[in-house]
Structure 1
Amino acid sequence: MHILISSAYPLSSPKGNSITAKRIAKLLTQAGHAAQAINTDMPPPADAMIALHATKTLAASKRFKVNSPNRKLIIYLTGTDIYREQTNNNPEFKEALILADALVVSQRASLASIPSEFQDKSHFVPASVLLPPLKKVSSPPSPSLALIGHLRSVKNPFLMNKALKELDGLKLDVFTLGAALEPNMLHEVHNWQQADSRFHWLNDVPYTKALSWIQQVDFTLNTSHSEGGSNAVAESIVLGTPVLASKIEGNVGMLGDDYLGYFEPNNASSLARLIHLAVTDYSFHQNLLQQITDLQQNFLPEKETAGWLKLLR
C-alpha cells in the first residue's frame, strides 16, 4: 500500500507531531508498505492517509478525500484536538471527525473523550519509541531534573520555577530544553534564569541531543495542563529515566494509575513536595526506577506496527 502520514508541521521540526509522523512512516516502511511522511495541504493520491492533528491537517484531509475518494482517511487525534478544539466547540474539529473513516488515539483512556456518535470508528493504537543514535552530552551535576518541551502555555513550563521557590536551599540543577514559542515566554524564561541560579534554559536542542539529556538527568518533568500522550514521557520511559508528571489523563494513560511520581496539576506546592521526595529519598527514587523499567514493554515498536496494520487492513 502507498500510505501518507500527514504532519501539521515541517518534517524538520522538532515538534512531537513531526517526530510521530516520521516514526509511523518508518514503522510501516519496515512492514513492507510504501509509507511517506508529508507536510502539505495538497497530498498526492494514495491508498490511505494518516493525518496527525484533526484541525491543523483538515485542508490536507479534505484534499485527500477529493483525490482518493474511496481510500481510507485515518485521523490521529492529538491532545490539542481532544482537550482544546473539542472543548472550544471548534466546528473544524467535528468536520474532521465526520470526514475520517477511522479515528485513532494513543491512550486507551482518551477513547472515552471522543463524542459518542464517533465511537464506532475510534481505535487505540499504542505509541512506541524509535531511538536514533544519541548525540553525547556532558553529564549534568546531580541531582538534576529536565523539562523537555517547547515553552507553550499548555505545557505550563514555569510551574517548575514556582516549585523551586518553595525549595530554597535544596541542591538541584534544573534544565528546560525547548524554544520559547509564545512571545511572553521569552521574557519570562529570562526572568526566571536571573531569579534562581539552579535554573538553566538551554533553548531549542536537537532531537538526538535532547534524548541524551533525558538519559543523563536523574528525572524528567511533565507539567502540562493537558496532553494526549507526550513523546518526551515515552522517551523517558524507554531511556530508563523516572518522570515526575502532572496527574492528567494523557500522563496517567502512559504511566499507569499506580505510578508514584504524580503531582496535582498546576499545583506548585504539590510539585515541590514531589521533587523534594524524589531528590532526598533514595528508596523512593529506586521505586520510580523500577516502575519505569516495568513500563518499557508498553512502548515496543512491534506493538504500534501491529496496531496500524490491523487498522489499515
Structure 2
Amino acid sequence: MKLGIITPHYYPLMRGNAVTVRRIEKNLANAGVEVAVYSLDAMTAEEIGSEVDAARPELIHAFHGHSGGRVAYRLKEQYGIPYVITLTGTDIYEAIIDHRREETFRALNGAAGLVVFHESVRDRLLNHLSQLEANTVVIPQGVELPEEPCRRAREFPFSSDSFSFLLPAGLRPVKNVLFPLGPLAALHDQYPRIRLILAGPVLDPAYAAQVMDSLEGYPFAHYLGGIGHDEMGCLYNKAEVVLNTSIFEGGMANSILEALAYGKAVLAADIEGNRSLIADGKTGFLYQNERQFLQKAEQLVCRPDMRAAFGAAGRTLARERFAPEKEIAGYLQLYQGVLRQR
C-alpha cells in the first residue's frame, strides 16, 4: 500500500500533531506500508500537490479537518485519490464553526473515512454533520514513551527536596497555562517546596509574552521553553504530578497519555477530551474550577499513596487500551476498507 500523509506540523517534534503523525508513520512503515509525509509547516499546498502527482499514492491520510483536509480535498478533485481525515482538536472545536467552516465541511463531506479519538468527539461532529455517521470511526490514540537518555537533566529546575507539577503545553490560549499560577501560589504559601514546571514551544507570540510577564510574579514557576519529545521522558520521570489545563482537547492529549504510561498522577481540567482518559479519583483527578484544583492539588502533595495508586492505574490503562499496535490495526482496517470500495 502506498500512503501519503498530510499533516499541519511535523517539525520540530514538540507539538501533539507531530508526535502523533511520527508515531503512526513509523508503525505503518513497520507494518509494510509505503509512507510519504507532506507537512504544511515545510511545504505549500501547491508543492504537496506536485509531489503527490509524482508519487501517486493509493490513499491520502490528512490530519486536521481544515489544515490537512482542505489540501486532501483538492488532491482528490485533481487526481481522484481518496482520502481519510483524522480530527485532531481545533478542527472540531473551532474550524467547524468559525470562518473556516465552509472549507472544513467540504473536506469532511468529501472524505472516504473520518477518524476521531473518542466517542465524545464523534458525537460533537455528528451534531454538525449527522450524515457522516457511517463514515466515522473511533480509533484511540496510541502512546509510546521516549526512551532516549536524559541529556539535559542538569538544566531542568528539579531538586530532591522540591515537589514539581509539570505542565507540558505549547504557549497558546487554548492551553490556558496561566490558570494554575493563582491556586498553586496559595498552595506554595503552605508548602514552599512546590514548583510549577512549564514546558512547550511558543505557538502564539502575543500569548507567550503574556505568560512571560505573569511568570515574573511567581518565582516558584519555571518555563523551560520547547523541549524535544525525546527529552520529555526526563521531565515526566522527575515530576510528581502532571497537569493539563486546556480549554478543550481533541479527544486525547498526548501529554496525558504519556503521563499515564509513565505512571504519574494527573490533575486535569474537566473537559470532554480529558474525561476520555481520566476517571476522577481512579486514574487521576479532574477539576472544574480553582477551588477544586487547589483542593485536589493539595491532596496530591500530601498523599504519596494516592499518587502511587493513580500512577499504577494509569499505567495499566495505557498498556491495556492505548497500545500503538491497536492504533495501527485500526488504521489499516480503515485504509483497506476504503481501497476495497474504489
TM-score tier (shorter): over 0.9
Tell me which residue corresponds to 1:242: 265
Tell me which residue corresponds to 1:63: 74
Tell me which residue corresponds to 1:262: 285
Matched positions, count: 311
Which amino acid is 1:131 matched to?
A: L
- Residues 3 and 50, structure 1, Cα contact 8 Å, conserved in 2: yes
The whole-number CA distance in structure 1 between the counterparts of 2:112 and 2:133 is: 12
The whole-number CA distance in structure 2 between the counterparts of 1:153 and 1:218 is: 25
Superposition pairs of residues 77-88 of structure 1, within 5 angstroms: 77-88=87-98
- Residues 11 and 38, structure 1, Cα contact 8 Å, conserved in 2: no
Structure 2 CA distance for partners of 1:16 and 1:260, relative to 1, 3 Å: closer
The whole-number CA distance in structure 1 between the counterparts of 2:12 and 2:312 is: 35
Which amino acid is 2:322 matched to?
A: F
- Residues 166 and 269, structure 1, Cα contact 8 Å, conserved in 2: no
Structure 2 CA distance for partners of 1:29 and 1:67, relative to 1, 3 Å: farther
Q: Does 1:253 align with 2:276?
A: yes
Tell me which residue corresponds to 2:306: 284
TM-score by length of 1: 0.92
Deviation at residue 64 of structure 1 after TM alignment: 2.3
- Residues 169 and 200, structure 2, Cα contact 8 Å, conserved in 1: yes
Deviation at residue 212 of structure 1 after TM alignment: 1.7
Tell me which residue corresponds to 2:25: 25
Tell me which residue corresponds to 1:153: 173
1:75 corresponds to which of 67, 75, 85: 85
The whole-number CA distance in structure 2 between the counterparts of 1:73 and 1:182 is: 30
SS of residue in 1 equivalent to 2:249: coil
- Residues 12 and 18, structure 1, Cα contact 8 Å, conserved in 2: yes
Q: Deviations over 1:261-299 (max 9, x none)?
A: 33334x222211111110112232222122212212222
Tell me which residue corresponds to 2:116: 105
Which amino acid is 2:300 matched to?
A: A
Tell me which residue corresponds to 2:7: 7
Deviation at residue 181 of structure 1 after TM alignment: 2.3
The whole-number CA distance in structure 1 between the counterparts of 2:283 and 2:147 is: 30
Q: Does 1:165 align with 2:182?
A: no
The whole-number CA distance in structure 2 between the counterparts of 1:274 and 1:125 is: 31
Q: Give the superposed CA RMSD.
A: 2.0
The whole-number CA distance in structure 2 between the counterparts of 1:148 and 1:24 is: 21
The whole-number CA distance in structure 2 between the counterparts of 1:102 and 1:234 is: 25
SS of residue in 2 equivalent to 1:144: strand
Is there any run of 5+ residues in structure 1 with no aligned partner, and where? none
Tell me which residue corresponds to 1:223: 245
SS of residue in 1 equivalent to 2:65: coil
The whole-number CA distance in structure 2 between the counterparts of 1:272 and 1:184 is: 28
Structure 2 CA distance for partners of 1:11 and 1:112, relative to 1, 3 Å: same
SS of residue in 2 equivalent to 1:312: helix
Structure 2 CA distance for partners of 1:219 and 1:59, relative to 1, 3 Å: same
Between the aligned residues of both structures, percent identity stands at 26
Superposition pairs of residues 117-132 of structure 1, within 5 angstroms: 117-132=131-146
SS of residue in 2 equivalent to 1:32: coil
Which amino acid is 2:278 matched to?
A: L
TM-score by length of 2: 0.85
Is there any run of 5+ residues in structure 2 with no aligned partner, and where? 337-342
Deviation at residue 135 of structure 1 after TM alignment: 3.6
Superposition pairs of residues 144-223 of structure 1, within 5 angstroms: 144-167=164-187, 168-170=189-191, 171-223=193-245
The whole-number CA distance in structure 1 between the counterparts of 2:208 and 2:318 is: 35
- Residues 105 and 124, structure 1, Cα contact 8 Å, conserved in 2: yes
Moved over 6 A (4+): none
